[in-house]
Amino acid sequence: MKTTVIVTTYNRPDALDSVVRGFFLQKDLDFDLIIADDGSHRHTTEIISRLKLEAPFEISHVWQEDLGFRAAAIRNKAIKASQGEYLIFTDGDCVPRANFVVNHKKLAEKGYFLSGNRVLLSPNLTREILTNGSGISQWGSWTILRHYWARDINRLLPLLSFTWLMPYRKSSPKRWEGVKTCNFSSWKSDLFEVNGFDEQYEGWGLEDSDLVVRLLKNGVKHKNARQATPMLHLWHPENDRGGLERNGQRLRAIMSSDRIEANVGLKQIDF
């Protein structure tokens, strides 16, 4: 199964470096990686150039002009450019544990998309990781417990890895609440059937919920990847949520309709 990992980023090259190096340490390296860049400055390009020289897999860089928060648009460009038949999505501030890719692939199933969750790191621990590096992808149990006891990690349960909970994984096939594209995977063909992300979502929030609702309307079911695909989320200040009400109106409209295709999505990309 040819797989592409898509990492979304914007002007945070130090975090991106830690995230991509986390993918260097995966137990399964049979994938290529696309950095979906929402308009970062040259420092990000310089980091990516160095990472390409060291990577044990192919890295591509897809960039768009900085016109504000347009995660939906840059993810669509990455989907269009991807080589894989199966796509794994994450963000440029979420460091994968070493079993992240192998378990997404192990749980992949026709007719389903996967969603996992994340563990939040404190500002102090994030600063330590970005300054000194700490092999975060391969932390052992005692290191994780030490950081949890120090209150530098907000919870432990997502870091437990169980791929065998199959009945539980399909227990909420219609679930869209809480699904985030920082830990998400789907067959590319399913994304094309719903025209990808809706690029009318600009500003932070709910573009991933819109995608999931349309996938569900098209018969693709939710499969839970929690306790199998853990991510460690590097701290950052909260994003500007000024567009959240407008995006909420869009989401409510799609939920009350029978439309499955994005108004502006993959079909409208011309490159």
Q: Where are the domains of the chain?
A: 3-268
Q: What are the beta bridge partners of residue 271?
A: none
Q: What is the mean pLDDT of the chain?
A: 90
pLDDT band at 242 (very low <50, low <70, confident <90, very high): low
Please give the pLDDT value at position 253: 87
Of 27-36, 119-128, 161-170, 174-183, the poorest mean pLDDT is in 161-170
Q: Name which residue leads in pLDDT, 204 or 15.
A: 15
- Given a cut of 70, is residue 22 above it in pLDDT? yes
Residue 233's H or E segment, with its range, is strand 231-233
pLDDT above 90: percentage of residues in the chain: 63
pTM of the model: 0.93
- CA distances 78 to 63, 88, 93, 139, 230, Å, are 9, 11, 18, 30, 23
Contact 117, 161 (CB under 8 A): no
- Given a cut of 80, is residue 271 above it in pLDDT? no
Please give the pLDDT value at position 163: 60
Residue owning tokens 């137990």:
27
State the average pLDDT over residues 242-247: 74
- The DSSP letter of residue 182 is T
Structure token digits, residue 243: 């567009």
Q: Name which residue leads in pLDDT, 156 or 22.
A: 22
Chain segment 209-235, per-residue pLDDT in tens = 999 999 999 999 999 998 889 889 998
- Describe the chain by its helix, strand, coil percentages, rounded to 5: 40, 15, 45
Please give the pLDDT value at position 48: 98
Please give the pLDDT value at position 161: 65
Chain segment 91-104, per-residue pLDDT in tens = 999 999 999 999 99
Contact 100, 3 (CB under 8 A): no
CB-count exposure of residue 56 (10 Å: 0-12, 13-18, 19+): exposed
- CA distances 72 to 21, 147, 233, Å, are 24, 34, 20
Contact 96, 117 (CB under 8 A): no
State the average pLDDT over residues 30-36: 98
Chain segment 34-73, per-residue pLDDT in tens = 999 999 999 999 999 999 999 999 999 999 999 988 999 9
- The DSSP letter of residue 158 is G
Please give the pLDDT value at position 166: 63
Architecture of domain 3-268: Alpha-Beta Complex (3.90)
Please give the pLDDT value at position 134: 59
pLDDT band at 27 (very low <50, low <70, confident <90, very high): very high
Chain segment 132-178, per-residue pLDDT in tens = 765 677 777 777 788 788 788 888 767 766 665 666 899 899 998 88
Please give the pLDDT value at position 222: 97
